[in-house]
Structure 1
Amino acid sequence: MPKKMLKRVMPSHETVKSHKYLQIFGNLLHDPNLFHLNRRSAAGAFAVGLFCAFMPIPFQMLLAASIAILVRTNLPLSVALVWISNPITMPPIFYGAYLVGVWVTGNSEKQFSFELSWQGVVDSFTHLGYPFLVGCGISGIIAGALGYFIIRMFWRYSIVRHWRQRQQRTNETSK
């Protein structure tokens, strides 16, 4: 069942409540609905977490936590899913988002080289900024929507399968 699987991989309530960057939310973190796990809250958390994973900003976890609190989805799952974009996966994710932005805006793909300095980042952003931001937004919306609907379908499938197995066990014991 997806609920049991998700509970194994989610951070605990205490871990989320004690996270130093999430302390700015204060008493809002004490809402029990933010930690409840059901089909609606899990699907919403996937949508929020996947959308925020595509945002090219620092402190994506704060954005995910803010949105999760606002729309009242599962907070630990939303925050944990942001880590899909980590230092290893960021280059392919953001390059793919840039290509989506180039395709949508009709701009031509520009060659760039990465220089590990503040000036290098600023120069790259001035050349690639608009298609990159558009691509990140579109990719985030698509990933969030796909995550939402896939989790809802998977959860429903799992419950229907569980009901059928229970019905089958009931029929076998009544014979």
Structure 2
Amino acid sequence: MAISTPAALRTTTTNKLDIWFIGKLVLIFFRIMLGAWMIVSGASHLLSLFGFPPIFPQPLGTLHPSNVMLVSLLEVGMFDVVKTLELVVGLCLVFNVFVPLALAAALPVSYMVFHNSIVLNLRYDRIFSTFMSVWCLYMNLILILAYIRYYLPMLRMRAPMGRLADFKQLPTILDKPEQDGGRA
């Protein structure tokens, strides 16, 4: 016996599924794109530390404030830390491991890249552009919103302090993620 459903019901369900599926694909694209950009950016700088030519030369800013910030980061050795963080975060995002932690760690770096590109170089016309220096922050923020459920427990007004017994939960970080009714 064949079961038929009204055409209106089928299109509504299909449209909702298609929109959810397309949204998920966009978020996966953002995660991989941001990760790949961070891998290339971090690796480019770190390769030069080992005597290899960089993938692309590191610009030192077109205006004085940008130049001062970047040169200062280089002189105190902080630029190496930032680029190493970019590489590690990029690997986490591309391989889909520890993504909420990687996104939180990437946020200050993404903001500084955005700030340097827009504010310190006085390029406010780039705010809605396709430059990766701008989109790294936008993608980071969109992905953080997509992973909001992992940040909400941190946002409690009066969170109780942990106990030593909480360390017993450390082995669970490698467990399979829970499913959202097929939408994980």
Bucket of the pairwise TM-score, normalised by the shorter protein: under 0.3
Normalising by structure 2, report the TM-score.
0.25
- Normalized per residue, which structure has more helix? 1
Structure number with bigger Rg: 2
Q: Report the TM-score when normalising by structure 1.
A: 0.26
